[in-house]
């Protein structure tokens, strides 16, 4: 390795150590299927609730968009870290893999892999790590639609988008400020999503379900 590369590696390590100085609450790694919509939404929550970037890291998957690839990348990023992203190996207490049902063939395999990893991995403090899939049936947009409608029957992802745009004109994948636009209806959406979770699960598709209420609940109460 040349001197320039060695210097860059040292700088990255120092930067990672600085960013690793965290606040006194749980450290959470979130890996998403989407590269824009979900990360923007989650980063908006992180900023609004003043969650330290060393405690809450949101990263799009880098191995592909299939659910199994999202889960595998979440495991890889947790275990190996990534100095270029300021992430140290095993430096989290909770890991969440976020993906949609859509028509993915690996959906159920991804759910099962995430479940098998829950409590099996150890972090840098030798504590068992919570590893959980945050799945939505049919898509993330169901979570947004629940802010406006009490959805209780199966619905195709295209229909979800059509109905959502009635309340959020101009909404599209990659839209920003989505949390700000829907925040005043958050309590209603949480209640409706919990109601779905009492009747269905991520395994009972095509029935509507979203685990996003759980992840949002974790983030919005983390500092407490």
Give the integer Cα–Cα distance in Å for 121 and 70. 17
Selected residue with higher pLDDT from 137 and 5: 137
Residue range 174-205, pLDDT digits in tens: 888 999 999 999 999 999 999 999 999 999 99
Q: Which residue, among 166, 163, 167, 174, has the nearest Cα to 138 in the 3D structure? A: 163
pLDDT at residue number 18:
43
Q: How confident is the model over 99-105, as a mean pLDDT? A: 94
**Strand 130-137 versus strand 56-60 pairing type:** unpaired
Report whether pLDDT(155) > 70.
yes
Confidence of residue 215 (pLDDT cuts 50, 70, 90): very high
pLDDT at residue number 186:
98
Confidence of residue 153 (pLDDT cuts 50, 70, 90): very high
- Token pair of 6 as six digits: 């060695």
Q: Which residue, among 65, 92, 202, has the nearest Cα to 142 in the 3D structure? A: 202
The residue extents of the domains of the chain are 3-220
Q: How confident is the model over 139-152, as a mean pLDDT? A: 98
| Residues whose CB is less than 8 angstroms from the CB of residue 51 and which lie 6 or more positions away in sequence, other chains included | 23, 45, 219, 222, 223
């Amino acid at each position: 390795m040349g001197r320039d590369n060695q210097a860059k590696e040292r700088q990255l390590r120092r930067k990672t150590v600085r960013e690793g100085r965290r606040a006194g609450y749980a450290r959470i790694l979130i890996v998403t299927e989407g590269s824009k919509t979900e990360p923007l939404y989650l980063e908006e929550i992180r900023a609004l609730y003043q969650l330290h970037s060393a405690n809450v890291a949101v990263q799009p998957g880098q191995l592909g968009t299939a659910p199994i690839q999202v889960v595998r990348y979440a495991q890889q990023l947790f275990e190996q870290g990534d100095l270029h992203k300021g992430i140290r190996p095993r430096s989290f207490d909770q890991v969440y893999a976020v993906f949609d049902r859509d028509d993915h063939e690996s959906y159920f395999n991804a759910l099962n892999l995430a479940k098998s990893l829950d409590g099996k991995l150890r972090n840098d403090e030798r504590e068992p790590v919570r590893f959980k899939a945050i799945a939505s049936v049919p898509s993330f947009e169901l979570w947004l639609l629940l802010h406006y409608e009490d959805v209780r029957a199966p619905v195709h992802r295209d229909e979800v988008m059509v109905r959502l745009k009635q309340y959020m004109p101009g909404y599209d994948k990659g839209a920003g400020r989505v949390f700000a636009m829907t925040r005043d209806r958050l309590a209603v959406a949480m209640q409706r999503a919990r109601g779905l979770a009492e009747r269905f699960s991520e395994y009972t598709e095509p029935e509507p379900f979203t685990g996003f209420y759980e992840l949002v609940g974790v983030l919005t109460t983390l500092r407490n």
